[in-house]
Amino acid sequence: MPTRFHHLHLPSQSSAPPQFTPVSAPPISPHTTPIPSASGTGKHRRVEPNENINPYADILPSFQNTQPRAKKRKVARSTSDKILLVLAALHDVNWTISDFTHFLFQIKDDSGHHIHRSQKHAQTLQHFFSGKAPGEILDTWMHHPFGSFNSEEDKSLMYSATTPFTEINSIQPCLTSFAVQIVHKQLIKEAEKAVHSSSGLHASAFSKVDSKKIEWVDIGATTVPHVMSLLKLHQPLTWKFMETIATRPPRVIAQVVQPARRSRNPEVVSTILKPSPPVIMLTCETKGGDPCLECSKLLPDEPCTIASTCKRNPLVWDVSPI
């Protein structure tokens, strides 16, 4: 069988050179390590395969760490354990509970400047003051067995109106004295407001004789109810105290609570202070502002009557309850 030869046509020198398609270099993987060359430029080479490295990290990064990490289960702590942790934290900063509460609620420093609080600190205080915790805490302090009297001196300071509550160490005498003193301050404030010239408890009386008695006719039939309404307006706390003391509690007959007794309008004041008709004291003040002693003599046998011997006219009568 004859052998056949295939002629291979080679390109001539005049034909166009073959075209080469450039191939881009593969992306540098983060798992390659640069090898410094002698010229100082770094070349990259792939490191040895490592079973701990995901080979598809560059291609499918979203598939990394698909297994959820197991969350550590929090240990349930009792109230006693939490208290011990807080006390331990206070001990670490060398604070007592008194130190902590003092600096937690402190408004001004020793120099009188306002304390700068962080946002978290301010939010915590706002939640505390707007909640029901303060009332519960005060009630617990008032009835806690650890707050009982340590001595007779502590017992004598209960409801004290003279010893400043800031100087009382025992909790129960301190709380009761604090309540008494802030109420006492408010009662005085109400009394000063009630006798102010703009409160309506002032009247003018003109006298042409050396001595003149102010009778009920001079005062008017509506004066006492009007004064009573002004006292309720300007002295609400004082009026509530006086009414509570003067009004007896409801009676219980055959285990049945009787209807509450009615308020005895003007008699409320006289029931407390004097077993006689209601007394209103008219204190004379001259135009110069100095009180006239002769005009402030109250006749005990004639309520709402004052012997006036003042020759200065007109007289301004300051009406206030006694």
Which of 131, 165, 194 marks a domain boundary?
194
**Same domain? 205 vs 181:** no
Whether residues 295 and 232 share a domain: the answer is yes
Give 215-237 pLDDT, tens digit per residue.
666 666 667 777 788 888 888 88
Does 179 share its domain with 241?
Answer: no
Q: Are residues 182 and 207 in the same domain?
A: no
Same domain, 207 and 186: no
Work out how many domains the chain is built from and give that number: 2
In a domain, 149, yes or no: yes
Highest-confidence range of 20-24, 71-75, 94-98, 209-213, by mean pLDDT? 94-98
Whether 5 shows a pLDDT value over 80: the answer reads no
Residues 222 and 181 in one domain: no
Per-residue model confidence (pLDDT) at position 91: 93
Is 98 inside a domain boundary? no
Check whether residue 315 and residue 206 sit in a common domain. yes
Question: Confidence class of residue 313 from pLDDT cuts 50, 70 and 90?
Answer: very low
Q: Are residues 282 and 213 in the same domain?
A: yes
pLDDT at 94 over 50: yes
Asked whether residue 91 is domain-assigned, the answer is: no
Give the residue numbers spanning the domain of 176: 118-194
Q: How confident is the model at residue 19 (pLDDT cuts 50, 70, 90)?
A: low
Residue 101 contacts residue 86 (beta carbons within 8 Å) = no
Gap between the Cα atoms of 225 and 267, Å rounded: 11
How many Å is the maximal CA-CA distance in the chain? Answer: 173
| 231 and 288 both lie in a single domain | yes
